Structure 1
Amino acid sequence: MKVYEKAPAKINLLLDVLRKRDDGYHEVEMIMTMVDLADRLEMTELPRDTIIISSQAGYIPLDEKNLAFQAARLIKDQYDVRTGVYIHLDKRIPVAAGLAGGSSDAAATLRGLNRLWKLNIPMEELQALGAELGSDVPFCVSGGTALATGRGEKLQPIGAPPQCWVILAKPPIHVSTQEIYGKLNVREIERHPSVPRMLQAIEDQQFGEMCQAMGNVLEDVTVRVHPEVRQIKECMMRLGADGVLMSGSGPTVFGLVSKEAKVPRIYNGLRGFCKDVYAVRMLT
């Protein structure tokens, strides 16, 4: 038996950090949604008790360092599954990009194995399992659009943002989330984005107001280490994107565009800066 799962990328319309927690994590407020750039996973049951992962991408680990592998092992251990699984991962989301590609793969693995092995695990339980793998995994399990608090694992689903085009551009660098959070001094944050303002803009389906409400307090930290991020952001604004922001800890920058006619110009203009450029829609 085989099952197939799609693992979409996420973007942060808003990312705020409130304080450093005693457990070493940061207390955050994030508004996240998903876009139509996705990895695809094919899962096949194996009679022997093993986990095998393959991929066409030569740059990702295929062992226990892979979050999909970790997700499969976690669900096997938790529910005492004695059969194995072969997972083929068709990788489309760039790695270490601030788009939660690895987290979405882990979430898709949890959903897929829940179906493959007929475990009937409720969504809330799958999300709790996901939290053991990473802060973005619970959101990726359910998808949609949500306000995330705590370290990112506490989720409040909200309505979909106004539909628009999303241009994604990732410079040829890798960013460590751990490094960026390590360099963040919460007391030095000059301006915190407003969660109520963003929630109201989404509820009212006000695209312009949503673009104005976007903010990411990690952006200044990443830009200090990787100035290419600022160059891409400035280029995207110059080319006419309506709202521009870095996603997660970066380095991917996304631009929201309401008019389809603008998309080719922005897309082609960014191709001069970096190879990884995508024009996609929000998954509403």
Structure 2
Amino acid sequence: MTARDATALPETSEATLFEDAWAKINLTLQITGRRPDGYHELNSLVVFAQVGDKLSVAPAVDAVTLQVEGPFADGLRAEPDNLVLRAARALAAEAAVDSAQRGGAVLTLTKNLPVASGIGGGSADAAAALRGLARLWDVGLAPDRLEALALRLGADVPVCLRGVPVVMSGIGERLEPVPALPPLWFVLVNPRVAVSTAAVFAGREGTFSQAAEPLLPPLGLAALIDWLAARPNDLQAAACRQAPAVVEVLAALEGLSDCLLARMSGSGATCFGLFESEEAALYAAEALALQHSDWWVAPALLRA
């Protein structure tokens, strides 16, 4: 399998499949421990916003190739072997797909999300590749086997494979479905500043957190906001020390009159504000974009 870029995309056919790679949002993120192998354990309410990357999957004679386009494509073009191609290889090996018969594919990734920004872009892209190629190749792996494969690719890939709200714990392998969440809108903001996940984890101070009870969020908007407020992102302070721009973004979101809660997602630098209505979110996003033309700003509905 090889990766290549192309300025002209292949014509899509009726056999071309399409997958969304939604932005993953850590509404909460408590770091609860560290395993002997170095992996951190966590407890996090993970949801998805209806904004993200797009992946098309088309049949090919033999090899799997990857083309990258979109506003944030430059951040991936230097990678000779990114997570999407690793996902394709892993699925082909797990399902014993014969590349000479049906194991080829042309993957086209439209990169709309900032790279390495705390909203699961690479993991969501890999999950989209697993879903799309499983359909293209007619792979009948059981869901638990596919999630185990996803976990080997990265801790966030299993939750992105599901793409629905869950409480995630362990290193990402334990996923607990949550009750229906109320309709919510996000305003996602990234200051276009790179933040190192490893450095943020290394810079975290204090003891490990205890997963706060109750583990599942309550019904109702007001109760949910109170529940979220009591369960912060344990990596936010470390990210703010590493990248002061995160502090500026959070302050801008908190200063919006209709913002119900402002917080950083994952290890940063993307932050989010929660809004009750589409009108409030669109107005806030427009105001932020006008004030900070160098920021990436995106309003999006919670994906239930």
**TM-score normalised per structure 2:** 0.86
In structure 2, distance between residues paired with 1:214 and 1:269: 28
CA contact (8 A) 1:54 1:62 kept: no
CA contact (8 A) 1:198 1:210 kept: no
2:68 corresponds to which of 55, 59, 63: 55
CA contact (8 A) 1:11 1:34 kept: yes
Q: Tell me which residue corresponds to 2:43.
A: 29
Task: Call closer, same or farther: CA 1:31–1:248 in 2, change over 3 Å.
Answer: same
Q: Tell me which residue corresponds to 1:177.
A: 197
**1:9, distance to aligned residue in structure 2 (A):** 0.7
The unaligned stretches of length 5 or more in structure 2 are 1-14
Return 210-219 or 134-143, whichever deviates more: 210-219
Q: Which residues in structure 2 correspond to 1:138-177 (within 5 Å)?
A: 138-177=158-197
**1:63, distance to aligned residue in structure 2 (A):** 5.3
Q: Tell me which residue corresponds to 1:220.
A: 237
CA contact (8 A) 2:178 2:217 kept: no
**1:2, distance to aligned residue in structure 2 (A):** 2.2
**1:152, distance to aligned residue in structure 2 (A):** 1.6
Q: CA RMSD in A?
A: 1.9
User: 3-state DSSP class of the match of 1:216?
Assistant: coil
Q: Tell me which residue corresponds to 1:75.
A: 91
Q: Which residues in structure 2 correspond to 1:65-144 (within 5 Å)?
A: 65-81=81-97, 82=99, 83-144=103-164
**1:186, distance to aligned residue in structure 2 (A):** 4.7
Aligned length: 279
Q: Tell me which residue corresponds to 1:12.
A: 26
In structure 2, distance between residues paired with 1:194 and 1:66: 33
In structure 1, distance between residues paired with 2:300 and 2:210: 25
In structure 2, distance between residues paired with 1:97 and 1:234: 18
CA contact (8 A) 1:168 1:252 kept: yes
> 1:147-182, CA deviations, whole angstroms, 9 ceiling, x for partnerless residues?
111112211111232111100000111122122112
The unaligned stretches of length 5 or more in structure 1 are none
Task: Call closer, same or farther: CA 1:268–1:52 in 2, change over 3 Å.
Answer: same
CA contact (8 A) 1:193 1:216 kept: no
**1:198, distance to aligned residue in structure 2 (A):** 6.3
User: 3-state DSSP class of the match of 1:174?
Assistant: coil
What's the % identity of the aligned pairs?
31
In structure 2, distance between residues paired with 1:224 and 1:255: 20
Q: Tell me which residue corresponds to 2:8.
A: none
